[in-house]
Chain A
Amino acid sequence: MALRLDYTVRETAKNVQRNVVITVASVLCVSVSLALVGFALMARQGVERATGYWQGDIQFIVWMNVESTSDQIEGISRSLDENRGVEDLTFFDQEAAYEEFLDLFADTPEMAETVTAADLPPSFRVVPVDKSPEAVAELVSQYQGQPGVMRVSTATEAIEAIQAISNFLTSVGLAVAVILLVVAVLIILTTIQLAIYTRRREIEVMRLVGASNSFIRIPFMLEGLLQGLVGAVLAIGALAIFKPFFEDSLPAEELPLFSELTFSSVEMFGTYLFLTSVGILVGTVAAAIAVSYFLDT
C-alpha cells in the first residue's frame, strides 16, 4: 500500500506537538549522552595521536641524525643488539619513518606535503628488559651523545600518566554515556507509549477500518527516529562548538614529540557519522520496542 507522506508527516508532527515536554526530555537525554560519547572518542583519538610513538612497551627511542652514516647506524644497532638490558629492538629507517609520519598525519595532507623521507630521522625503538625509570635512564645515558645519535627520548611518566588518565576518563565517559543511552531509550519508549495512549481511539478506529499495520506504526517509528536524530544533531553541534576549547585544554607541552593536536574535519566527520547512526539507532530501537509492546496487542 502506498503510504501517504503528507499523512505520515502530519501525524508525526501532531504526536510531537502533543507531548512536547517529554519529547524535549528524550531529545536532550540523547544529545547529552551522544555528546559524551563524542568527547570521549575525540579525547581518545587526540591522546592516541599524541602518544602514537609509544605503543607497546617501547620505553625509549634513539633518534639518529638525518645525515648519520650507515656505519654509525650499524654501530648503534650492533651495540643495542648486544646490550643485555635490551629486550626488543625495532629499527625504523627513513622510509619507515615516512610511512609512520604519513599515518600519523593522514588527515592533514598539507603537513605531509612539506616532508619527504629524507627529512626524517631514522630511529631505534627500544623495549628494555627492566622498565623502571632508573634502568631506562641508565640505558639512555649510554646512547646519548654517541656518534650519529641526534637525541634519545624516553616515554616519560607524564605520557604514561596521560595515557592512564585518558584511558580512565574514556572508559568512565563511555560507561556513563551507555547508561545515559539506555535512559534515553527508556524515555523515548515512554514518549511513544504516551503518544500511542493519546491516540488509542484513533488507532482502534484505524484497525477497525483496515489500516495496514505499517500505516499505523510508521508515524510512531518516525517519531522515535526523529528524537534520536535531533538528539544526535544537537550533540554534534555541541561538539563542534566546544572542540576548540577542548583542544586548548590539552597539556600540549607535556607531550614531547608531536605536541600538535588537531582534530581535522575528516576525523570528526567519522565521529559525527557514528554519533548520528547511534542516535537514529537508539530512537528507532526505542520506538520499535514501544510499538511492539503497546501497539501490536
Chain B
Amino acid sequence: MIRLDNVTKVYKGDVPALREANVNIDKGEFVFLVGASGSGKSTFIRLLNREEVPTEGQIWVAGKDVSSLSSSKVPFLRRNLGCVFQDYKLLTNKTVTENVAFALEVIGRPKSVIRSQVPAILELVGLADKARSFPHELSGGEQQRVSIARAFVNRPLILLADEPTGNLDPATSVGIMRLLERINKTGTTVVMATHDRSIVDKMRRRVIELERGSIIRDQARGVYE
C-alpha cells in the first residue's frame, strides 16, 4: 500500500529531514511513527500525501508513484488518503455536518451521496447528536472526531494522522485511538505520527522510530522505546 525506496528529503540548504528511508507498509496495517520533535515524522507524512516531493528516491502510495505524480493528478491521490492533524483544521463557520459534507462536496460527489454518507459517518464517530453544532461549541476530542469523520467519509484506503492526540488529554486520546482502531479494522491502512508514549505502549502495533531523519527502528508490535 505504501512503499518508500531510498527516500531522502532535504529542505532548502538544510540538513536532511529524512534520509535514505526504506519502508513497506501493507494494506490494513496500523503503523506508529515515533521520535522526538524534528526527527522527520511530519516530513514522512507530508511526503505520503504529496505536500512535499522527495529530494531522492521513490514513494509509492496506493499503487501510484507519488514522487513523479503531476500536480494535476495530486487531487486524485488525496481522495484515497484521509488526513487528520493535531489542530483539526475544521472550518469554524460551518456546522459539524457542513464540515464533513464539504469534503464530499468539493470533490463533486452528488447531493444524494452526501445526504446518506454524512449522517452515517457522524454515527460512526459518535457525534450524531452534535450534527448541527459549530466547532467552537465542541470539546477538543469532539472536534478531532469531526476531523476524522471528514477524513474518512470518502472511505479512503489510507488514513494519515499527524499527532492527532497532541492537543487532547489522556482519557480523550483513548477515545480517539479506539476510533482509529475501528477505522483500521475496516481494512483502512493507518499511519500515525505521535510522541504519546502511553498510547504506543498500550496498542502494541508496528512502530517505526525516527531520529534526525533516519529510521533507527522498525518493529512489529513495538513499544515507544
CB < 8 Å A-B pair total: 60
Counting chain A CB atoms within 10 Å of each CB, the highest count among B71, B72, B79, B108 belongs to B108
Counting chain B CB atoms within 10 Å of each CB, the highest count among A1, A2, A206 belongs to A206
Number of interface residues of B (CB under 8 A): 22
A4 contacts B by Cβ under 8 Å: yes
Q: Are B71 and A205 neighbours in the complex by a CB distance under 8 Å?
A: no
Q: Are B107 and A205 neighbours in the complex by a CB distance under 8 Å?
A: no
Cα–Cα distance between A296 and B102 once the two chains are bound (Å): 21
A53 contacts B by Cβ under 8 Å: no
Counting chain A CB atoms within 10 Å of each CB, the highest count among B75, B89, B91 belongs to B75
B21 contacts A by Cβ under 8 Å: no
Say how far A83's CB is from chain B's closest CB, in angstroms.
Answer: 74
B103 contacts A by Cβ under 8 Å: yes
A209 contacts B by Cβ under 8 Å: yes
Say how far B61's CB is from chain A's closest CB, in angstroms.
Answer: 13
B77 contacts A by Cβ under 8 Å: yes
Say how far A266's CB is from chain B's closest CB, in angstroms.
Answer: 44
Counting chain A CB atoms within 10 Å of each CB, the highest count among B79, B106, B151 belongs to B106
Number of interface residues of A (CB under 8 A): 20
Cα–Cα distance between A215 and B103 once the two chains are bound (Å): 13
Q: Are A213 and B103 neighbours in the complex by a CB distance under 8 Å?
A: no
Among residues 238 to 297 in chain A, which have CB atoms less than 8 Å away from a CB atom of chain B? 296
* A216: chain B residues within 8 A (beta carbon): 106
Counting chain B CB atoms within 10 Å of each CB, the highest count among A1, A205, A215, A216 belongs to A205
* A210: chain B residues within 8 A (beta carbon): 75-79, 81, 107, 154
Contact of A209 among B71, B78, B92 (CB under 8 A): B78
Residue of B nearest to A202 (CB): B91
* B49: chain A residues within 8 A (beta carbon): 208
Say how far A138's CB is from chain B's closest CB, in angstroms.
Answer: 76
* A202: chain B residues within 8 A (beta carbon): 91, 102
Given the known inter-chain contacts A4-B108, A209-B150, please indicate yes or no for A201 contacting B79, CB distance below 8 A.
Answer: no
User: B97-119 interface mask toward A, CB cutoff 8 Å, 1 = contact, 0 = none?
Assistant: 00000110111100000000000
Q: Are B89 and A212 neighbours in the complex by a CB distance under 8 Å?
A: no
* B76: chain A residues within 8 A (beta carbon): 210, 212
Contact of A207 among B72, B78, B154 (CB under 8 A): B78
* A3: chain B residues within 8 A (beta carbon): 108
Say how far B143's CB is from chain A's closest CB, in angstroms.
Answer: 14
Cα–Cα distance between A208 and B71 once the two chains are bound (Å): 13
Say how far A201's CB is from chain B's closest CB, in angstroms.
Answer: 6
Q: Are A205 and B108 neighbours in the complex by a CB distance under 8 Å?
A: no
Contact of A201 among B71, B81, B89, B107 (CB under 8 A): B89
Among residues 203 to 227 in chain A, which have CB atoms less than 8 Å away from a CB atom of chain B? 204-213, 215-216
Cα–Cα distance between A208 and B108 once the two chains are bound (Å): 14
Residue of A nearest to B83 (CB): A208
Say how far A119's CB is from chain B's closest CB, in angstroms.
Answer: 67
Contact of A205 among B81, B91, B154 (CB under 8 A): B91
User: B146-175 interface mask toward A, CB cutoff 8 Å, 1 = contact, 0 = none?
Assistant: 000011001000000000000000000000
* B81: chain A residues within 8 A (beta carbon): 210
Say how far B108's CB is from chain A's closest CB, in angstroms.
Answer: 5
A197 contacts B by Cβ under 8 Å: no
Cα–Cα distance between A206 and B83 once the two chains are bound (Å): 12
Among residues 74 to 96 in chain B, which have CB atoms less than 8 Å away from a CB atom of chain A? 75-79, 81, 83, 89, 91-92
Say how far B209's CB is from chain A's closest CB, in angstroms.
Answer: 27
A7 contacts B by Cβ under 8 Å: yes
Counting chain A CB atoms within 10 Å of each CB, the highest count among B71, B83, B151 belongs to B83
User: A188-199 interface mask toward B, CB cutoff 8 Å, 1 = contact, 0 = none?
Assistant: 000000000000
Say how far B104's CB is from chain A's closest CB, in angstroms.
Answer: 8
* A201: chain B residues within 8 A (beta carbon): 89, 91-92
Measured CB to CB, the residues of B under 8 A from A are: 49, 71-72, 75-79, 81, 83, 89, 91-92, 102-103, 105-108, 150-151, 154
A–B Cβ pairs within 8 angstroms, 8 of them: A202-B91, A209-B83, A209-B103, A210-B77, A210-B78, A213-B72, A215-B108, A296-B71
If A201-B91, A209-B107, A210-B77 are given as contacts, then 10 extra A-B residue pairs at C-beta distance below 8 Å, sorted by A number, are: A4-B105, A204-B89, A206-B102, A208-B78, A209-B78, A209-B151, A210-B107, A213-B75, A215-B107, A215-B108
The 5 closest A-B pairs by CB, nearest first: A210-B78, A210-B79, A211-B106, A209-B103, A210-B75
